[in-house]
Amino acid sequence: MKRFITPKVYVPIALTILSVIWLIFARQLPSSSSVTTFAGPSTFPTLVLVIMLVCSLVVSIQEVRAAAQQAPDEDAPDRLLPIDIKRIAGFVIAIFAYVFVLDLVTFIPATIVLLVLLLLLFGQRKPLVLIAVPVGFTLAIYAIFEFALKIDLP
């Protein structure tokens, strides 16, 4: 069963499902007959999504067949280890939390905390680096964008 839980199998299946859902929304858009142009807002998305659906379905079938023919292999070179999955999960949580709190906490503190977390995820443990890089880089970016380029940051 583990050989089917790989990105090569579940990504095309997810894209197939996404194509169907997206197509349902696309069909709700105004059609050609309800607008004065000869091709309405739904024409192009519908055409593209039909192509995407067909191709995703074929690729899903191909990948499921390929996975079924493979011997179960725990040591596949590109299979992620549990520690890698935890790192990625930590990264995803960190970056989306950063986006959510950026406006509340403002740029400098939010970015310093994010950089510390990222450096820890990348295995950095030296205290000097964990302080100097986040503070120095954040302040440098802030100075360049706010004062030199006059682009307001949160």
Partner 1 sequence: MFDLSLILSFEVIGLCLLGVVLGIIFGFLPGLSATMGVAIMMPFTFGMDPIPSFALLLGVYVGGIYGGSITAILIRTPGTPASAATVLDGYPMSQQHRGREALSAATLGSFIGGIFSCVVLILLARQVANFALKFGPPEYFAVGMFGLSIVSSLAGKNILKGIIAACIGLMLGTIGMDPVTGAMRFTFGITGMLGGIQLVAALVGLFAVSEVISKLAGMSRAANITEVHVDNSKIVSAKTLLKNWVNLLRSSIIGTVIGIIPGTGSGTASWLSYNEAKRVSKSPETFGKGNIEGLLASEVANNAVTGGALVPLLTLGVPGDAVTAVLLGSLMIQGLTPGPTLFTDSPDVVNGIYIMLVIANIFMCILGLLGVPLFVKVLKVPSGILMSCVLVLCAVGSYAIRNNLFDVGAAMLLGVVGYLLIRADFPIPPILLGLILGSMIESNYRRAMTMSKGDPSIFFTRPICLVLLVVAVIAFCWPFIRSLLAKRRAAKSGEKT
Which positions touch partner 1 (CB under 8 A)? 7-8, 11-12, 15, 22, 25-26, 29-30, 35, 37-41, 43-45, 48-49, 51-52, 55-56, 58-59, 62, 78, 80-81, 83-84, 87-88, 91-92, 95-96, 98-99, 102-103, 111, 114-115, 118-119, 121-124, 129, 133, 137-138, 141, 144-145, 149-154
Tell me the C-alpha to C-alpha distance, in Å, between residue 52 and each of 30, 66, 86, 88, 100.
21, 21, 32, 28, 32
The nearest distance, CB 70 to partner 1, in angstroms, is 15
**For partner 1, the closer CB: 2 or 25:** 25
Report the C-alpha dihedral over residues 90, 116, 140, 153, rounded to 10 degrees. 50
* Burial class of residue 96 in the structure, from the number of CB atoms within 10 Å of its CB (0-12 exposed, 13-18 middle, 19+ buried): exposed
The nearest distance, CB 147 to partner 1, in angstroms, is 13
